[in-house]
Structures are given as structure tokens and as C-alpha cells.
Amino acid sequence: MATSVIIGPSSRELALKVADKLKADKIFVQHKKFPDGESYTRLEQLIKKNSDVIVVETLFPQNDSIVELLCILDVVSEFKPKYVTLIAPYFAYSRQHERYLKWEAISGRTVAELIDKKVNKIIMFDVHHKKNLFPFFKKAKPVELTAAKRMADYFKKVKNVFVIAPDQERKGFTDIVAEELNCDYSWLSKHRDRYTGKTVSHLLHKVNLKGKNIILVDDIISTGGTIISAIEILKQHGVAGIYVATTHYMNVAGVREKILAAGAKEVVTTDSIPAGEISKIDLSQVIVDALGKK
């Protein structure tokens, strides 16, 4: 069966790598914004009948890429593909997977429901809260992959390491990074004020971090507030250095600089969301390996 990879505009480089590794047909997408802000989308090639179609489109920038993706999927459906897999390394709005305050919109559910009936499978990376998000998909099969092993590979050059996450929710992730690096790990405990958004953190376990190189890992860096308050706490424990790594870096202007100014030696991320020179961790092989497992 022919495999076609749709080179989604928000994930162009990653999609090209995936298509090359799979030796699949590449379907490019013509896209532009009209002066009034609306999106124009057109597939530049036809999709062979009965194809296995893989759409690679990360959901960032959130609102534009969601509309672009829905337009792409509508055109794809006209070719009556056999199976459609969406690779959306970052799944937008996944942090609002439940209602914290009365009458809030559960926007993670809204976005999941928009896409659910249009694909057979959806693959995403390091989902903020899989247990709450995945039940929103009723037809498509959601699959979570992790960047944790690739992240650990990146830090194998650093000695005397200790892995920390800024909150206990990242347990499954820190375990993998620490196991690969053959070191200990722990978490901070974080509390967020739901009205102001401000967070307060402290070290959860009694651990000796003196002289350690901390690999500080999180699923998302948006404003940098969470990571910076974690750095402030870690600095009080006599650590040798702090290296920051995240699966999804939301490209908010000035955030990397603020994190470095707070005391981090380096900030790195994956190509889940293209972030220029700091997107040093390539996820294409993780995706290709997962596609092999039906």
C-alpha cells in the first residue's frame, strides 16, 4: 500500500525527515494568510487511492494550526484514504483537560472532539495529562510517545548528574531520563493559584544536590515561570550547574534569555515545536519506530 506523508506547514522539517525515513510520497501543502487573517490551504499533489496517509502537523501556533489541520484533513478525506494517522507532536490546549473553576471551557476536549472523527490514529508526545485527555477521543486511537530517551542521550556528555522535574506530575518522564543516565531523580512540589496563575514550589524529598549537575526536565515551557522558580530553589542547594530541557517549548519571546539569566547553563528542546537553534533533540526516529508498530 502506498504511504503519503502530508508535509504540514507547522512541522515542515520534522515531516520531511519522517517522509525520508519512511521512503514515502511527500505531499506538500500550499498555505497563506489573507490580509484579514483567514487561512488558505491547498494540497499540491494528489494522494494515491487507498493510501496510508500520515499528516505531520504540530498544533502550534495553536489557533492557526488547528484551522490549517482541519482544512488539510477535509481535503485528505476526499481522496478516500485507507487509514489516516495524525502526528501532532504538541497537542494544543491539552493543559485544560478539566475544569478548575466553575464554567471554564474544557478546551482540551473541544480540540480533541474537532479532530477525533477525521483521523484513525493520533500520535502526540509527552501529553500533559494523558488520563484526562485521551478519553475525549471516541473514534481515533490516541497514542503517546515520549522524548525522554532522546533527551537523556543529549545529556550523556554531562557528568555527575541528577534529574529533577518541577512538579510530581512528570514522574514517568523523570524515571526514564534518570534510568538512561544511570542517576537519581526527584521532583519539586508545585502549587498553582488558579486565579493569579502564580506557582509556589519546594523540594519534595530530602536529597543531597550539592555539587550535582541538575538536568531540569518538563513537558512544556511557556512563560518560563515554572522553570525559573525551580532554578531559584535548586540554586539554594549548592548545585554545580542546571541544564534545562523540555519536550515542548512554546517560543514566547525572551523566555530562553530569562531562564539563562536565572542561572541555567543551557536550554534545549525537541523539534515538537520548531524553536530554532535550541530545537536540538530530533523526534523523527521515535515517530518512525512507533509507526512500525501497528
Residues that bind ligand R5P (CB under 6 A): 95, 128, 166-167, 169, 218-226
Instruction: Please state the closest distance from residue 168 (CB atom) to ligand R5P, in A.
Output: 10
Instruction: Please state the closest distance from residue 181 (CB atom) to ligand R5P, in A.
Output: 20
Question: Is the Cα torsion angle 133, 135, 136, 137 positive or negative in sign?
Answer: positive
**Closest to 19 measured CA to CA, from 59, 56, 47, 74:** 56
Question: How far apart are the C-alpha atoms of 209 and 184, rounded to whole Å?
Answer: 10
Instruction: Please state the closest distance from residue 291 (CB atom) to ligand R5P, in A.
Output: 27
Report the side by side order of strands in the sheet with 83-87: 39-43, 25-33, 3-7, 52-56, 83-87, 121-125, 141-145
Dihedral pair phi/psi, residue 90, rounded to 5°: -105, 125
CA of residue 94 relative to chain centroid, distance: 10
Question: Between 24 and 188, whose beta carbon lies closer to ligand R5P?
Answer: 188
Instruction: Please state the closest distance from residue 68 (CB atom) to ligand R5P, in A.
Output: 23
First to last CA, the chain: 14
Task: Provide the angle, in degrees to the nearest 10, between the axes of the packed helices 62-78 and 107-116.
Answer: 20
Question: How far apart are the C-alpha atoms of 266 and 268, rounded to whole Å?
Answer: 7
Active site residue 26: no
Query: Which of 118, 121, 190, 212 does the annotation list as catalytic?
Result: 190
Question: Between 10 and 226, whose beta carbon lies closer to ligand R5P?
Answer: 226
Instruction: Please state the closest distance from residue 228 (CB atom) to ligand R5P, in A.
Output: 8
Question: How far apart are the C-alpha atoms of 249 and 280, rounded to whole Å?
Answer: 12
Contact (Cβ atoms closer than 8 angstroms) between residue 269 and residue 224: no
Question: Between 43 and 220, whose beta carbon lies closer to ligand R5P?
Answer: 220
Question: Between 219 and 271, whose beta carbon lies closer to ligand R5P?
Answer: 219
Question: Between 132 and 222, whose beta carbon lies closer to ligand R5P?
Answer: 222
* Helix ranges restricted to H, 157-263: 171-181, 225-235, 255-262
**Closest to 238 measured CA to CA, from 268, 207, 199, 270:** 207
Instruction: Please state the closest distance from residue 157 (CB atom) to ligand R5P, in A.
Output: 25
Question: Between 66 and 188, whose beta carbon lies closer to ligand R5P?
Answer: 188
Question: How far apart are the C-alpha atoms of 214 and 9, rounded to whole Å?
Answer: 35
**Closest to 282 measured CA to CA, from 13, 9, 5:** 13
Active site residues: 190
